[in-house]
Amino acid sequence: MVTLIDNSASRLSDKPAPADQAAKQRHPEKAHKPDSDILRKPDWIRVKAPGTGLGSEVYKETKAIVTANNLVTVCQEAGCPNIGECWSKKHATMMILGDTCTRACAFCNVRTGIPLPLDPNEPANVAEAVEKLGLNHVVITSVDRDDLDDGGAQHFADVIRAIRKQSPDTTIEILTPDFLRKEGALEIVVEAKPDVFNHNLETVASNYLTVRPGARYFHSIRLLQRVKELDPKIFTKSGIMVGLGEERNEVLQLMDDLRSADVDFITIGQYLQPTRKHHRIVKFVTPEEFEAFETVAYSKGFLMVSSSPLTRSSHHAGEDFARLRAARASKLNNAA
């Protein structure tokens, strides 16, 4: 199921909208849904406000570079709780293909509707920002673009190649949509040779109809498996949120499904509800439970596991990539 809602007119207006009206414009497909209670966050979820503390000047510099290059970041659009920490280190996850998604997932804060045409200057702008930020490792993600024949695959490839040309020593991690019913799209992206191919399952299979209705669980598993078939050298990665009503045994089954697709790296983090119109938080998973998931995941053969309440796909991505590469080298040496 794909939801397309035309909200382009509201984006072109110069008049600011009231807060409640703005929320409806951002997620018009959720406007009719009843409000749900938002649970009070436990102490282990608390983070510092962005732009404060020792890294505030670097945070402002990062924001200025993003703005000057007309870029969209998932840090801002998805309301990531780690934006203050990451931007104070000049780490920003670029979101390409525009700021409007053609899906309407129940957990996501990214704007939904009919997107504007692709920006032909975006690959060059992203590459320039990566160079200015001095990134050793960059994460590129996107909205879903079901309206495009290739789902945005060629644009992903163009961005990867533009970064390679301008910053040849920078390693590139991509976090892609599922390219559902986009024949040949995955091959276009893999041919551009990203260092890490990430595609998030987001949640367990039983939640898909209510949490991720536009996607198909086993299609996503097969997508990740196909990446390894096309290029075994590319690291593969996937992430999920917990606290959406899943059972522990379902999370363990998901781990097995990812390992059957030879996925190298799994991330597990707490779901945080963006608004009262989004899927409710069923449970705050404790730090001890996250540690247990990490132990089990390593026992199942993942090269790298990041499991904590504030874990997000691109959080500490550069440091994690270095450890991921070292883990593969160690595994190969032990097998020799």
Residue 180: Cβ within 10 Å count: 17
- CA 253 – CA 305 distance, rounded (Å): 16
Per-residue pLDDT tens digits for 130-141:
998 888 999 999
CA distances from 41 to 28, 45, 84, 247, 283 (A): 26, 6, 18, 21, 10
CA-nearest of 131, 205, 132, 213 to 166 is 131
On whether the CB atoms of residues 219 and 180 are closer than 8 A, the answer is yes
**∠ CA 275-277-280 to the nearest 5 degrees?**
80
- CA 279 – CA 264 distance, rounded (Å): 29
Place of tokens 């097998």: 335
The set of residues, in sequence order, having a beta carbon less than 8 Å from that of 4 and lying 6+ positions away, is: 102, 113, 114, 146, 147
Place of tokens 């097969």: 222
- Identify the pLDDT of residue 239: 97
Per the structure block, which two tokens stand in for 10?
């509201």
The pTM (predicted TM-score) of the whole model is: 0.85
Q: DSSP alpha helices (H): ranges in the chain? A: 8-12, 19-26, 56-68, 74-77, 83-87, 122-133, 153-166, 185-191, 208-211, 217-230, 248-260, 287-299, 317-335
The set of residues, in sequence order, having a beta carbon less than 8 Å from that of 191 and lying 6+ positions away, is: 157
- CA 166 – CA 177 distance, rounded (Å): 25
Residue type, 237: K
Per-residue pLDDT tens digits for 142-163:
999 999 999 999 999 999 999 9
- Identify the pLDDT of residue 71: 67
Per-residue pLDDT tens digits for 278-290:
899 999 999 999 9
Q: Please give the chain's pLDDT, 336 residues, in tens.
A: 333 333 444 444 444 444 444 445 778 888 888 888 888 889 888 766 555 555 577 777 777 777 777 666 656 655 666 566 666 665 667 889 998 999 989 988 888 999 999 999 999 999 999 998 888 999 999 999 999 999 999 999 999 999 999 999 999 999 999 999 999 999 999 999 999 999 999 999 999 999 999 999 999 999 999 999 999 999 999 999 999 999 999 999 999 999 999 999 999 999 999 888 889 999 999 999 999 999 999 999 999 999 999 988 877 788 899 999 999 999 999 887
Residue type, 191: E
Dihedral pair phi/psi, residue 317, rounded to 5°: -60, -40
Per the structure block, which two tokens stand in for 191?
């041919």
CA-nearest of 146, 218, 210 to 177 is 146
The neighbouring-strand residues paired with 142 are 96
The neighbouring-strand residues paired with 305 are 266
- Identify the pLDDT of residue 144: 95
- Identify the pLDDT of residue 275: 87
**∠ CA 168-174-176 to the nearest 5 degrees?**
150
